Amino acid sequence: MDGFYASEMDEHKILMVQPLVSFLMSVKNDSPKLAQCLESLANQTYKNIEAIVVLDSASLRAQARVKIAAQKNSMFRIITNPTPKNLSRSLNLGISYCNGDFIARIDADDICSLDRIATQVECITSLGEEFALVGSRAKGIYFDKNDEMLTVVTQRDFFQTNPIIHPSILVRRRVLENFRYNEKFRYSQDYELWTRIIQHHKFAILNRELIEFDVRHRNPKYVLSQEFYFLSANLKLLFTSCADSNSELSFTGFIKQLYINFIKQKNLAKNWIKLITGQF
């Protein structure tokens, strides 16, 4: 990284060698960490950044926090979703306003390390055009630590789980513009998107905690809804992979994963019944 920031460069020259990065976030409720989140974007060591903030039925307090940040720093651009209450729709709207070569996701209740963008831009540019996305680890989420600086993610890694932490990603804008979020998915929209992109591009995860992830307790309805949409996207991935002659999924593997999906759907149905009857 030392060579990336030559001390004799003035700020204008630095901006010329740094590709523009667009932060993309949707704001609804007033998260206790919203002010810290916005501050972590404004204080990045990487300087050529804009931040597209989409207000999706945002509370008055949340709107006020965002407007204060925008008054302090011109990097923030505020967009209001005219058809609100849908994260996928808000993110797609925000993509249309992004000018960066890369788009970095962040959620209103997560906080970036100050070197996050500098680290991820250096990583993805060194990997080359075949890599569309670089994620990271997050403080608050356990993972098996290893000595490798980077983990390359393949389609196989998505057959049972989502290995990508949504607010940690840096993705090439042209790729995200091409695929976009599926607006029918109100939950697990990130997983559904990754399962489509991974069929055409490569992903990598930096084994560094570049964000602090919000780990507050989620209500049962939210958790079950996430699982429902996840299993729907997972089922589509399994059938698509089975039909693809170049897929990493064998027919035997397909049957095994299909059975696992079936068991999860069965357990999900039981949990929905428990929730409805007040036993969850």
CATH code for position 134: 3.90.550.10
Residues 152 and 256 in one domain: no
Are 7 and 101 found together in one domain? yes
* pLDDT the model gives residue 256: 95
pLDDT, position 214: 81
Over the stretch 25-83, which tens digit does the pLDDT of each residue have?
Answer: 999 887 889 999 999 999 999 999 999 999 998 888 999 999 999 999 999 999 998 87
| Same domain? 207 vs 255 | no
Residues 27, 110: one domain? yes
| 113 plus 224 within the same structural domain | no
pLDDT of residue 82: 83
Considering the domain architecture, whether residues 7 and 88 belong to the same structural domain is answered as yes
Q: Report the distance separating Cα 270 and Cα 29, nearest Å.
A: 30
CB burial class (10 A; 0-12, 13-18, 19+) of residue 129?
exposed
Residues 204 and 225 in one domain: no
Mean pLDDT of the chain: 90
- The per-residue pLDDT for 213 is 87
Across the range 119-124, mean pLDDT stands at: 97
In angstroms, rounded to a whole number, what is the distance separating the alpha carbons of residues 126 and 20? 16
Number of domains making up the chain = 2
Q: Do 116 and 241 lie in a common domain?
A: no
**Core vs surface per residue 101-128: b (16+ CB within 10 A) or e:** bbbbbbbbbbbbbbebbbbbbbbbeeee
Identify whether residues 259 and 157 lie together within a single domain: no
pLDDT average, residue stretch 158-168 = 96
Residues 89 and 9 in one domain: yes
161 with 239, same domain: the answer is no
What pLDDT was estimated at residue 1?
Answer: 37
Please say if the pLDDT value at position 6 is more than 60.
Answer: no
Q: Evaluate if residue 146 carries a pLDDT over 90.
A: no
Give residue-wise pLDDT tens across range 182-212. 999 999 999 999 999 999 999 999 999 999 9
Final residue before a domain boundary, out of 212, 237, 260: 212
Do residues 107 and 183 share a domain? yes
Strand partners, 51: 23, 76
Question: What is the extent of the structural domain holding 175?
Answer: 2-212
